[in-house]
Each structure stands twice: as structure tokens, then as C-alpha cells.
């Protein structure tokens, strides 16, 4: 097993370094947006840092984030984790064979799942410690996803697998992994094409799309087919969900809003060209970006286009603060749109950042250059991020009494 795991010495150095070395908020770098430019639009640099890369041969392969941690995966297989609040470098580790194909990291409250080659590594997302690893039965076609009991991953041969997390942990503790990985499979479901999107587990169902042009909903417990929705072209964009609906973008020019329970199409929006970028849900707003035709803003519940909610020269949605929507144009710069009027406020010259997250989780703009410079931009005064996808996980801040509050008059007691 150890031949697949190559921890790097820098992990120890990073974890022992003081915060001032790990994260340097407001530091000067030629690629960083200046305070003068950001402050003009009520923005500021939250933090910046550098991922662990070999500058001679390595580049950023994937940039991902949840509400708590930002992850950078390199083309050589190095994973670097940063605290999303302050940019402190938490750990860095080399996983799998160097230069093996990989997929973006997915997480839950405790684990980060890294798919590299035909292996999945489960990492303690705060400590960078390998919790377990398994060998897949064939080549994956998507990132894995998790619920409380199972891990789901799609394959190029058209099979969706469900793995029992408890069984995985038991066999790993007995030193029987990855050799006995097949015993951790709880069920599999076969489609007529490669699995095209990561599964979306919403109890009691798992939703995913296949290259056979269909959306599938199967029960997470026993793979019973709840419904199948066929489209007229390939589905390549990952699914989105919210407001009791599943949002499916297809290359047949349509966006479908599908009832999560019944499978009925609640509404359909015709975009005019294929849609390969994922639809993005921010509360009751839905952003879609057809190929070469701009960005649309729809009411996520009704499917109606918002008044002034179309920007023909923009390319994709990347973030939403309290007052601004952020989208990239076709040159890679970030365009700022007023959330109330939907008019363009200005442009940030950030086209040297090759990787910008479609951030539907928080109100931060998260980006990285190909060489591993990571920067996060926030709205001035927003000391704590706003959670869009999981508002129930938002930390509850204490309410402090005002200082020097006058004491009650003894005479009134």
C-alpha cells in the first residue's frame, strides 16, 4: 500500500511554520490585485498564499473549495490545503503516482476525497492524514460524492458504484485495503454510456447523468430506479440543486428544472446553443452560460429571465457578494455586476488567474494562477463568509453586550 503514498517533507515544514510565514494577507505580489483597484468597488484582498508545486514542471490541475478549506491539486499529484478564512497553509501531501490523471476533490465535514488514477484516497481534511484508500474496479469518469453512509463514483464503462463507508474503514483498520476493495462495494447501477456527472445524493435518492443522454434517479439504499429523464443531446455540465429542484443543463440547448421527488419537469429554458458549463444556484437566482452567447440570470423557481438579467459578452459566473455578482468575460477578467440593478459596475484585471472557482458555496472570489499563487477577494466588512449552499452550517456568532453599559439604579430595586 505504501508505494502509492509519498508524503513530502514540506508537509512538516508547513505545519511547523508560524502563521506569518504560511499566510501573508495584503502582501505585495505582482499578480495580486491592488487595494486601489479593489477598494474602488468595496472589495479587499482577504488573503493570498502559494501552493506546493515544482516550478520546473508542475501546474495547477484543479482548484476547489468548500466552506472551510481551499484545495489546490497539481498536475504531479501534490495536494495543498489552505484555511479558507485566513489562508494559513494547513498541509501538503503527494498522493498516488506522479502525473496520474485526477479529478477535483470533494469533501464532507471530515474527509477530502482525492481521486488519482484508479485509486481514491480519503484524507482528514484538517490534518492531511490518510484515513483510507481503495482501488477502483475500472477507470473513473467523475469525482466521488458522499452522504453519511456511502460514497458514490461513476465510471467510464457506464457504471455508478456505491461504497459502504463503514466497511471501508473496517477493512482499512484490518490492513486489507486496497487488496480487498471489491468487498466494500454495496451496489452498482449500469447505464448505456459513461457516467457524465458526479452523483448528487439527496435522500432518499442519488441523481446523476450519463452519456446516454439521460438523467437517472436511483435510491441510495438499494439502487431502485425512481425515474429516468431522457434529453436530446449529451449532458456534460455537473448538476445543481436547490428550491426542491434539480437543474440539468444539456447540449440540446435546454436547461431543465426537475422536481427532486416526482421527476416531473417544472420548467424548461431554451438557451439557443449547447450548455457545457454548470448551472449555478445562489438562493433563488440561477445563472446559466451557453456556449459563446453570454450569461443569463433566471428566477430559479419559475425559470423566468430576470429583468436586465442577460450579459452577452460575459462567459461564466464565479462569485456573489452581498452587493455584487462576479462573472468573467471572454478575456478572463472579472466583471462586477450590481446585484440590485444588474448593471455593470466595473472590471477587475485578473486574466492571469487561470483557475477561478464557480463559487456557489460562499461569498468569496477564489482564484489561482497556473503556478500556484492563490488569492481570495471579499467585500469590505464581511469578516465571516456567507454560506449559500448550506446556510445551516453557518457559524453562530456571539452577540456581545455594548461596553460601559450603565448599571441598574439601586433605588429602583
Report pLDDT for 6.
Answer: 43
What grid cell was written down for 11? 508537509
205-210: strand order across its sheet: 200-202, 205-210, 214-219, 225-230
Distance CA 330, CA 345 (A): 17
Report pLDDT for 21.
Answer: 38
Burial of 356 (0-12, 13-18, 19+ CB in 10 A): buried
Distance CA 240, CA 34 (A): 34
In sequence order, what E strands does 18-75 have? 43-50, 60-65, 69-74
List, for residues 334-386, the tens digit of each pLDDT value. Answer: 999 999 999 999 999 999 999 999 999 999 999 999 999 999 999 999 999 99
What grid cell was written down for 386? 456567507
Supply the DSSP symbol for 280: E
Compute how many other C-beta atoms are within 10 angstroms of the C-beta atom of residue 48.
24
**Three-class DSSP category at 197:** coil
Distance CA 277, CA 264 (A): 23
What grid cell was written down for 382? 464581511
All structural domains of the chain with their residue ranges: 2-383
Distance CA 47, CA 261 (A): 41
Report pLDDT for 150.
Answer: 96
Q: Which CATH superfamily is domain 2-383 in?
A: YVTN repeat-like/Quinoprotein amine dehydrogenase (2.130.10.10)
Report pLDDT for 397.
Answer: 65
Regions of the chain short of the pLDDT cut 70? 1-30, 397-413
Distance CA 207, CA 278 (A): 15
Residue 138's alpha-carbon distances to 186, 215, 220, 410, in angstroms, are: 16, 22, 21, 78
Distance CA 90, CA 16 (A): 10
Report pLDDT for 297.
Answer: 98
Report pLDDT for 25.
Answer: 46
Amino acid at each position: 500500500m505504501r508505494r502509492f503514498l509519498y508524503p513530502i517533507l514540506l508537509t512538516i515544514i508547513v505545519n511547523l511554520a508560524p502563521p506569518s510565514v504560511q499566510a501573508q494577507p495584503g502582501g505585495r505580489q505582482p499578480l495580486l490585485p491592488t487595494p486601489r483597484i479593489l477598494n474602488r468597488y468595496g472589495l479587499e484582498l482577504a488573503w493570498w498564499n502559494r501552493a506546493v508545486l515544482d516550478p520546473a514542471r508542475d501546474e495547477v490541475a484543479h482548484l476547489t473549495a468548500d466552506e472551510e478549506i481551499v484545495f489546490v491539486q497539481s498536475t504531479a499529484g501534490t495536494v495543498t490545503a489552505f484555511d479558507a478564512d485566513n489562508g494559513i497553509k494547513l498541509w501538503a501531501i503527494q498522493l498516488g503516482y506522479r502525473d496520474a490523471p485526477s479529478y477535483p476533490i470533494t469533501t464532507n465535514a471530515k474527509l477530502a476525497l482525492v481521486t488519482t488514477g484508479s485509486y481514491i484516497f480519503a484524507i482528514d481534511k484538517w490534518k492531511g492524514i490518510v484515513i483510507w484508500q481503495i482501488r477502483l474496479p475500472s477507470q473513473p469518469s467523475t469525482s466521488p460524492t458522499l452522504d453519511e453512509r456511502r460514497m458514490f463514483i461513476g465510471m467510464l464503462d457506464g457504471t455508478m458504484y456505491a461504497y459502504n463507508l463503514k466497511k471501508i474503514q473496517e477493512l482499512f483498520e484490518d490492513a486489507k485495503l486496497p487488496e480487498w476493495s471489491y468487498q466494500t462495494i454495496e451496489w452498482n447501477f449500469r447505464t448505456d454510456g459513461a457516467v457524465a456527472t458526479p452523483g448528487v445524493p439527496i435522500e432518499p435518492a442519488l441523481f446523476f447523468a450519463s452519456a446516454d443522454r439521460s438523467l437517472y434517479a436511483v435510491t441510495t439504499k438499494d439502487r431502485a430506479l425512481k425515474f429516468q429523464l431522457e434529453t436530446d443531446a449529451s449532458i456534460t455540465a455537473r448538476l445543481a440543486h436547490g428550491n426542491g429542484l434539480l437543474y440539468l443543463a444539456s447540449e440540446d440547448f435546454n436547461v431543465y428544472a426537475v422536481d427532486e421527488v416526482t421527476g416531473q419537469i417544472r420548467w424548461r429554458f431554451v438557451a439557443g446553443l449547447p450548455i457545457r458549463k454548470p448551472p449555478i444556484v445562489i438562493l433563488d437566482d440561477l445563472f446559466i452560460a451557453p456556449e459563446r452567447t453570454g450569461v443569463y440570470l433566471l428566477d430559479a423557481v419559475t425559470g423566468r429571465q430576470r429583468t436586465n438579467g442577460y450579459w452577452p459578452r460575459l462567459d461564466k459566473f464565479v462569485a456573489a457578494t452581498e452587493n455584487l455578482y462576479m462573472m468573467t468575460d471572454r478575456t478572463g477578467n472579472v466583471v462586477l455586476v450590481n446585484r440590485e440593478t444588474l448593471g455593470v459596475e466595473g472590471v477587475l484585471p485578473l486574466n492571469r488567474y487561470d483557475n477561478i472557482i464557480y463559487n456557489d458555496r460562499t461569498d468569496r472570489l477564489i482564484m489561482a494562477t497556473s503556478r500556484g499563487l492563490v488569492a481570495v477577494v471579499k467585500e469590505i466588512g464581511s469578516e465571516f463568509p456567507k454560506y449559500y449552499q448550506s446556510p445551516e452550517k453557518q457559524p453562530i456568532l456571539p452577540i456581545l453586550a455594548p461596553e460601559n453599559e450603565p448599571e441598574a439604579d439601586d433605588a429602583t430595586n
